[in-house]
Structure 1
Amino acid sequence: MPIKTQSLDATSDGIAAAADILRAGGLVGFPTETVYGLGGDARNDTAVARIFEAKARPQFNPLIVHVPDLQTAQSYAAFNDQALALAAAFWPGPLTLVLPLNPDAGLSPLVTAGLDTVAIRVPAHPTARALLRAFGGPLAAPSANPSGRISPTRADHVHAGLSGRIEGVLDDGPCVVGVESTILGLDGAPTLLRPGGLPHEAIEAALGIPLSLGGDSNKPTAPGQLASHYAPNAGVRLAVTTPQHQEVWVGFGPDCQGAPLTLSPSGDLIEAAANLFHTLRLADALAAQTGQGGIAFAPIPETGLGRAINDRLRRAAAPRD
């Protein structure tokens, strides 16, 4: 039987109601600076299992644990000097660290997909932080959308994908960053597992060393590594300067006159990241309305946030099962 999904405002009463839902083992979509997350008590096996069920997410794909501060994070994961330095530099913010799991962490094994590491971060969004404080525990929170589909950056995106499957959605407007957090593996040499809202160049500058590249789409060690992900209904082509007649063209920069949609008319990567998933939804809807054959994205530079944008677009364009 479908669940009645409540719409909750980001007021003290709405946050308190969301925390009550979470304490009862329910699920709540909530805003972070990156995308909306689907929160459940990371210590509660049933709540975490319901996250996988609501999203139809493969259980071999680990989840990110959200906590309010570094001190809380240290109760779940082992921090070395590099991890402490990065936490001091970039938390709260869009950086997830994959660290050795403390033996007495008390997290559901479903959160870590049975691995001996945990992905953990401290979000910067004030409503996310208020919810974590009100709840008083760690939240497992992947993106609040059906698995493999376009990530949500607004509350109505969450309702569109998950209404009837979760108890509530806490609405605090559009997300500022617009792409998921950068994931860095620190259980060995620093390894970029997923580009995201914190440019990898900033991490390299903080550590003083280049990052290794990692990630396995067949056996993920962190979220966001599946080959096909963020997929609209329409097919996607990338780096298109001349779209085909039957394609919806999404521009970037001033050289895309005639494009009905754009990630950033000025070519600003911060603006493009914030607009990415909402624009992908608009393009998908336009392709369906007009009967056009697909979506074509203009080239995006592979620097700064462009690396995260291109990562999401490559997964959106990947062959689907």
Structure 2
Amino acid sequence: MRTRRLTASQIDEAALLLREGQLVAFGTETVYGLGADACNGEAVARIYQAKGRPSFNPLICHYASAMAAFCHVRPNALAERLAAKFWPGPLTLVLPRAPACPVSKLAAAGLPTLAVRVPGHALAHDLLAAFGGPVAAPSANRSGHISPTRPEHVLEDLDGRISAVLDCGPCPVGVESTVLDLSGETPTLLRPGGVAAEDIAAEIGPLRHGAPPGAALASPGLLASHYAPALPVRLNAEVLQPGEALLAFGAPLPGARTIFQLSARRDVIEAAANLFEGLHELDAKAAVLGLTGIAVQPIPELGIGLAINDRLTRASAPKT
């Protein structure tokens, strides 16, 4: 059965499908999420099935408000301060589960913590409000594939695997949310994303970067090979090799014939919004043009540039 494409006027229908345990993709300010009722274990399992996602990689739960999110976790003063500053918005907080938290253990991969966020997209908020509960929603693509920033990307990857996609237009931020673990003594940046680490540190003080070695994955997006196109990706390219397409940042490298421009004016925010669109487009041209790989020009690791390089590093990792 083909996946239905719903419009903004059909939000109530999308909410009904979620209540029935079905999967509905929807746009946020970051990327499109693959939504399911977070309190319905079978519905959550359908996410893993549709994505082919490793069961140890937990999901982010989306809420209509900070008050709703904090009913299911144990917030601390830092969480309340960050929520007041950055929610709604592209920041996910990992916090201890509340004792009576109804969210499926599968959504958190059995961990005692839960990853929660309040998205800053009007249609996503309306869907969450209409549904009336938490929605577990990783990116709406098959596991390891490029994250979707348009409804067309969702349908390319998941048509027939999910019930519907709610068309929310293109995603303005274009990379996933920043994930910050506040469940321990030291605030730990698990995944750079739409809120710059510098802005978080300015609000609450220094952050530890990365989970301790051997720790369980407390956040999505932490597998080494992730966000990966079929073509091999080569980072920080200074010259092009035969057959390579170019993911450009600023003036393109000499000799480039197949180019996707992330930002001609070298704006990392513009580049972030275009990143997955560029990977999708170049990957789609591979067979037609006989491409052998994607070369990426250097992108500064400042602000959201850190998130861009994180995604590209995972896209370039050896496939496992």
Alignment TM-score, normalising by the size of structure 1: 0.96
Question: Residue 148 and residue 218 in structure 1: after superposition, are their counterparts in 2 closer, same or farther (change >3 A)?
Answer: farther
Q: 2:77, 2:131 → 1: CA distance? A: 29
Q: Could you give the per-residue CA deviations for residues 126-167 of structure 1, whole angstroms, max 9, x where no partner exists?
A: 000000000011000000000010000000100111111110
Q: 1:197 aligns with which of 194, 198, 205?
A: 194
Q: 2:208, 2:113 → 1: CA distance? A: 18
Q: 1:100 corresponds to which residue?
A: 96
Q: 1:47 aligns with which of 43, 51, 59?
A: 43
Alignment of 1:285 onto 2:284: yes
What SS is found at the alignment partner of 2:199? helix
Q: Could you give the per-residue CA deviations for residues 202-237 of structure 1, whole angstroms, max 9, x where no partner exists?
A: 000011x22101246984111100000001010000
Alignment of 1:170 onto 2:161: no
Question: Residue 49 and residue 190 in structure 1: after superposition, are their counterparts in 2 closer, same or farther (change >3 A)?
Answer: same
Contact 1:248-1:286 at 8 Å conserved across structures? no
What SS is found at the alignment partner of 1:272? helix
Query: Structure 1 residue 243: deviation in Å?
Result: 1.0
Query: Structure 1 residue 272: deviation in Å?
Result: 0.2
Contact 2:25-2:154 at 8 Å conserved across structures? yes
Q: 2:250 corresponds to which residue?
A: 253
Post-superposition, which runs of at least 4 consecutive aligned residues in structure 1 deviate over 2 A? 215-219, 254-259
User: C-alpha root-mean-square deviation of aligned residues, in Å?
Assistant: 1.3
Alignment of 1:8 onto 2:6: yes
Query: Structure 1 residue 258: deviation in Å?
Result: 5.4
Query: Structure 1 residue 283: deviation in Å?
Result: 1.3
Query: Structure 1 residue 257: deviation in Å?
Result: 5.9
Amino acid at match of 2:227: Y
Percent of aligned pairs with the same amino acid: 56
What SS is found at the alignment partner of 2:263? coil
Q: 1:312, 1:15 → 2: CA distance? A: 31
Contact 1:217-1:226 at 8 Å conserved across structures? no
Structure 1 alignment gaps of length 5 or more: none
Question: Residue 266 and residue 72 in structure 1: after superposition, are their counterparts in 2 closer, same or farther (change >3 A)?
Answer: same
Q: 1:309 corresponds to which residue?
A: 308
Q: 1:38 corresponds to which residue?
A: 34
Q: 1:184 corresponds to which residue?
A: 180
Q: 2:238 corresponds to which residue?
A: 241
Contact 1:66-1:122 at 8 Å conserved across structures? yes
Q: Could you give the per-residue CA deviations for residues 150-204 of structure 1, whole angstroms, max 9, x where no partner exists?
A: 0000001001111111100000211000000000000111000000011101000
Contact 2:60-2:136 at 8 Å conserved across structures? yes
Contact 1:31-1:175 at 8 Å conserved across structures? yes
Q: Could you give the per-residue CA deviations for residues 246-302 of structure 1, whole angstroms, max 9, x where no partner exists?
A: 110111013546542211011001100000001011111223221121000000001
Q: 1:27, 1:255 → 2: CA distance? A: 40
Structure 2 alignment gaps of length 5 or more: none
Alignment TM-score, normalising by the size of structure 2: 0.96
Query: Structure 1 residue 4: deviation in Å?
Result: 3.3
What SS is found at the alignment partner of 1:295? strand
Q: 1:100, 1:52 → 2: CA distance? A: 23
Q: 1:223 aligns with which of 217, 220, 224?
A: 220
